[in-house]
Amino acid sequence: MMMEHLPAIIIVFPLIMAFLINVAGWWSKKACFYMALLAVTVSFLASLGILNTVLQSGTISYRFGGWEPPWGIEYVIDHLNAFMLVIVSGITLPVVLYSKKSIEQELPKKIPQFYTLFTLLMMGLLGITITGDAFNLYVLLEIASITGYALIGLGDEKAPLASFNYLIIGTIGACFYLLGVGYLYIMTGSLNMADLAQRLPALYSSNAVMAAFAFFMVGIAIKMAFFPLHVWLPDAYSHAPSTVSAYVACTMTKVGAYVMIRIMFTVFEPSFSIQLHPVTTIFGWVAAAAMMYGCILAVAQNDLKRMLCYIIIAEVGYIVMGISAANRMGFTGAVLHILNDAFMMACLFLVVGAIYYKTGAKTIGEYRGLFKKMPFTSMSFAVGALSVVGVPPTCGFFSKWYLVLGTINAEQWVFAAALLASSLLSAIVFFRVLQNMFFAPAASSSHDQGSESHVQEKRHEAPGSMLIPIFVTIAGILLLGVFSGQIIEMIIQYTVPEGF
């Protein structure tokens, strides 16, 4: 009975909790955290349950209120959704744990509001991944975005302006998506994705359908910060509170990538997105540009969070590159990279937040000699950074492996070279930081006195409630690398669209 309604629970429970958190905030601020934790845990367990069901019995379809698909809202969960649900809810769990201390310091007055919005944001993201209805997806996309604007607006001095700009651009993106839905509705009279997929092939030559596809792609590209529509991201993410930037960085863009895959390969058939129009080729070139642009600008940044923001832009490029390879290897790499990147970005942003929490350091210069003060945090940063660079045995290497193989199988040598070149650039980006963290040249002046008299600097390690989530992501990075073969075998191979 419970198992049957899991797809509803995963959405409805956080929704109710979000309301209750707000109410409970009037009496006790402490309770808010635990209620949010409860909501996240329940969603995570529910998503695990869904994944388990999908692995055993294939695609689930859940009809809200029992209405038949083309009229009612249908939740369709195949391997790709189930996988995304587990990623999103799984990464929320460490972030929410981490948020306790960080929010108490950064937003002491707004704890209930924060957790209300946070729970809503998670619900929106989960909803986007679970729904099988194109219009419902728009609504949930906007729920996630609006809560995102509000959360980002809670950040530092410049945050409201950054958030406002993000709001303007983000809403334009959502409107484009909505227009795409409208065009498809005019042409087919349906909003259900599966239904659309059946009706559309007959209309592939129609200009309206083509326009709809273009609107979809532009809208989603804005939402997932795909170069050159990424301009809102660095400002918005770098001025947000640390928890918020960590959370949106590791989920928003990935969910955007998921929507792109859905539209390109479920609503439209691969034959439309690949053969009829040179979409994938164009995306390949733009993705290559995104990787280069992101990494090069990351090198130029001094503020750590901002640097990571540009890395995100490059990572989005990786995912799109995998999609654009349009073969099994590349697609596997893209889906694997969605997972890996969620963990890598979570790890890096959480570490940067923890360092800010403890020392107030924001720029690379201030990271000097941090290893002596916060050894565990610094080591975690190193692991995350190596994973972004793609050094084995971290998980970043394995997704890059499939991505490069995908481009080689597609005989796109330029793209393969771009992937490797951007790895090199990200190596430069991160070793600049790591060097400052581990070997601070100017920090130790008493060098000649030797280690005996070297005053051991006091450790100022981050609190346990921050370290544990960081370690969880580290464990994720290492384990996902080792078990990537099993993950592909169990889940990802079923997500590859037919005809690849």
Partner 1 sequence: MEIIHSSRPALAILVSLIAAFLILITGERSRNLREFWTILASVVKFSVVLSMVPFILEGKVIEYTVLSISPGLSVQFRVDALGIIFGLTASFLWIITSFYSIGYVRSLKEHAQTRYFVCFAVALSATMGVAFSANMFTTFLFYEIITICTFPLVAHKETPEAIQGARKYLTYLLGTSIAFQLLAVFMTYHVAGTLDFRYEGLLNGARGNATDMLLIIIFILYMAGITKAAMMPLHGWLPAAMVAPTPVSALLHAVAVVKTGVFVVVKVVLHIFGINLLTQLGLGTALAYFACVTIVVASVIALTQDNLKRRLAYSTISQLSYVILGVALLTPSGITGSIMHITIHAFGKITLFFTAGAIYVATHKTNVSELDGIGRQMPFTMGAFTLGALSMIGVPPLGGFISKWYLALGAIEAEQLPVIIVLAASTLLNAGYFLPIVYAAFFKEPAPEHHHNPGQKSKIQEAPVLMVVPLVLTGIGAFVLFLAPTFFLDIARIALHAVVGGN
Partner 2 sequence: MEFIISKYNYWMYIVLMMIGFYAMIAKRNLVKKLLGLNIFQWAIILFYVSTGVKKGATIPIIEGGHGELVHAVNAAQYLNPLPHVLMLTAIVVGVSTTGVALALIVLIYRRFGTVEEDEILEALK
For partner 1, the closer of residues 281 and 435 by Cβ is 435
d(CA 157, CA 154): 9
As given in the structure block, the two tokens for residue 159 are: 């945050």
For partner 1, the closer of residues 72 and 441 by Cβ is 441
Could you tell me the sign of the dihedral formed by the alpha carbons of 433, 421, 252, 45, in that order? negative
Among all chains, which residue has been given the structure tokens 């009496």?
Answer: 27
Q: Per CB under 8 A, does 172 bind partner 2?
A: yes
For partner 1, the closer of residues 213 and 397 by Cβ is 397
Cβ neighbour number for residue 486 with a 10 Å cutoff: 9
d(CA 330, CA 401): 9
- Which residue in the set 8, 45, 55, 408 belongs to the binding site for partner 1 (CB under 8 A)? 408
Residues 111, 114, 118, 121, Cα dihedral to 10°: 160
From residue 176 to residue 195, the character string flagging contacts with partner 2 as x (rule: CB under 8 A) and all else as - is --xx--x--xx----x----
Q: Per CB under 8 A, does 202 bind partner 2?
A: no
Report DSSP letters for 361-395, one per residue: --BTGGGTTHHHH-HHHHHHHHHHHHHHHT-TTSH
- Which residue in the set 3, 12, 16, 168 belongs to the binding site for partner 2 (CB under 8 A)? 168
Nearest to 287 by CA among 317, 329, 328: 317
Which residues, 6+ apart, have CB-to-CB distance to 198 below 8 Å? none
Give φ, ψ of 204 to 5 degrees: -60, -25
Smallest distance, Å, CB 157 to partner 2?
7
Smallest distance, Å, CB 401 to partner 1?
8
Choose the binding region for partner 1 from 66-74, 127-135, 191-199, 420-428 (rule: CB under 8 A). 420-428
Q: Per CB under 8 A, does 64 bind partner 2?
A: no
Q: Per CB under 8 A, does 343 bind partner 2?
A: no
Q: Three-state SS for 74?
A: strand
β-sheet bridge partners, residue 76: 61
Residues 140, 143, 145, 148, Cα dihedral to 10°: -140
Nearest to 64 by CA among 55, 75, 54: 75
Rounded to a whole number, what is the largest CA-CA distance in the chain? 80
Q: Per CB under 8 A, does 380 bind partner 1?
A: no
Residue 168 interacting partner from partner 2, partner 1, none (CB closer than 5 to 8 Å by kind): partner 2
From residue 120 to residue 149, the character string flagging contacts with partner 2 as x (rule: CB under 8 A) and all else as - is ---------------x--xx--x---x--x
Q: Three-state SS for 126?
A: helix
For partner 2, the closer of residues 53 and 136 by Cβ is 136
Smallest distance, Å, CB 391 to partner 1?
5
Q: Per CB under 8 A, does 431 bind partner 2?
A: no
Q: Enumerate binding residues for partner 1 (CB under 8 A).
A: 386, 390-393, 398, 401, 404-405, 408-409, 416-417, 420-421, 423-424, 427, 431, 435, 438-441, 444, 447, 450-452, 454, 456, 482, 484-485, 488-489
Catalog residues that contact partner 2 under the rule CB under 8 A: 135, 138-139, 142, 146, 149-150, 153, 157-158, 160-161, 163-164, 167-168, 171-172, 174-175, 178-179, 182, 185-186, 191
